[in-house]
Chains A and B, each alone.
Chain A
Amino acid sequence: MKDRTKYFSYPYIVWMTIFIILPSFLVLLYSITSKESNGITTINFTLENYKLFFDPMYINILFDSMTLAAISTLICLILGYPAAYIISTSNISKRNTLLFLCILPMWMNMLLRTYAWMTILGNNGLINNFLEMIGFQKVNLLYTRGATVMGMVYNFIPFMILPIYTALSKMDIGLIEAADDLGADKKTIFRKIILPLSMPGVISGIIMVFMPAVSTFIIPQLLGGNKNMMIGNLIEKLFILNGDWNFGSAISIIMMIIILISMSIMNKFDVDKEGGARLW
């Protein structure tokens, strides 16, 4: 029996090979070959694509993307933690309703949700019409960095709330009672028991928000206009408009390395090695 069960993993291994390992390898291959050698017979290896990236213009784009993603992640954390805490401490029926409301927007296409924000933030949008109605001047909301951050927070906040909620709801009530019994008031219990024990959830949340935020291209394109190019837009542009697959691949690889490094740094902060809420 034991021998046979391993066959069940074969379809998954095949799937992984075709759709994950092979493409990743191709991206790597593109990134270290020059544009002129696009044929199997004549491959010219070069690191030129990587060198190209260390131009201040591209570094700035990278830095900008990471800043915007970090700001969004921070806002998601500040809003998401209390939300997760409230959900985990409410009674069963209320909890399910709140969780449902939290997941509901994810059932809709992300593009649609982002377009919806355009009509809210736009010059003739909901907010500006309202401002005009009560006698204020119109404000330029759309196509700003703020709008990009707003869109990222809106789209990714469920990924912050859910892992934190999981970590909090798995926590043993007995631990809170024990701390109470040993003389800790509510604030101390939160600081010394609840917060540290929910850290695995917080870390998962940060990773799950930061990763899509740093590489998204739809949100900055729709809400940020062309003023703020993020790294995702740059890669998209190189592949679709410029047809420079090699340079685009190199940037993708650089992004992968940066994400891997930041993830391993995050994991260093993870005290609870047993915590099931971890993703990695």
Chain B
Amino acid sequence: MSNVNVNVHHLTRVEGHGNIVVDVKNGELVQCELQIVEAPRFFEAMLRGRPYYEASHITSRICGICATGHATASLRATENALGVEISEQTELLRKLLFHGEIIDSHVLHVYMLVAPDFFGVGSVIPLAGTHPEVVKRALRIKKLSGDLCAMISGRHTHPIAMTVGGFTHLPTVKELLDMRKRLVDAREDMDETIALLATLPWPNFERETEYVSLKKEDEYAFIDGAIATTDGFTYELPDYRKVTNETCVPHSTAKHTHHNRESYMVGALARFNNNYDQLHPRAKEAAEALGMKPIVTNSFLNSGAQAVEMVHCVEDSIEIIDELVDRGIKQEPLYEFQGKGGEGVGSCDVPRGILFHNYIIDDEGIIQGANCVIPTGQNYANIEADMRALVPQILDRPQKEITHMMEMLVRAYDPCISCSAHFMTVEFV
């Protein structure tokens, strides 16, 4: 086939609005774009003039899926700006809450958004009839992670109890122990998840790129740490702009980023490639069952890395709860503003990848400037690079199949368009 026109308007089973446009004339790729048509919402501008303590509540509204991730990055930025130290208890509770969100987001993506592609259906709904055990397992894991988040912050989407310096509500030891039992029981669902993914025919597609994530020596990094890349670069958080280098592109309401190459990748696969050593032993076993060992260069296997992370988060959550119960839950005084502002950068590696919040707060506690760099935005250039590499490899296939492969590729990144627009539809013109 010498001419191919793919034109997917409002790509489905992703969060937000985007279009895929592929135009091949006489066997030559003329146009290959991921157009982001999501309405921009201007969060950074909206934060100006608001009191510092509202920032985490406003920015959690950037995204319904990674609301906790945004709130956590926001709080870390605020705390770094104001010089707030957080207690070990707060750190442990935030990690536990964050694990809840990682599991919640990954189970949604792997089971409800990606799995239908492999069963040849358009959504998870027909699977409820044909594969009820799969759907029920997904809903069971989702409920577990949602309940874990609710136990700590009131609810998963738009956490309530997280605040600058600590929590306005604490879980009881009994709640923690009940949750621990459910997490132990969830090991069976994790095993089944890995077994299911091991049977799926992941597309063969290799393209090496630079993988960027947070890194810590002593743990699999989700909150704080340094910025590390598989090309050997390391940066402290305040230097995040040296990595992100944001630019506007005409076909996208989300900015693009690049570092050492024309593009880089963030997310579960990037974390897996950078931080494999710090994974829980059970998560390493899961990776082995999926045939994954770093460096994995097949972007479709981002979903595999997500499943590995789910195993890790279940195991680490059990350990965190043990530590919390051992220490005992204590009421701690909340932060009070000290009349001195400053600038701070906060970073978390949220479900879709590394996220930065950067605030300038004045001596009245009012936000004067804000910048947020969103994971999906950082992936767009890399998604387009993958699209350009993949299209020539599958040009001999029927157009319907090409379209489907392109949609699957973009979906593998688990793009969160509403976050990044400041996302998606496939258009073959």
A pairs with B: no
List A residues at the B interface (Cβ < 8 Å): none
List B residues at the A interface (Cβ < 8 Å): none
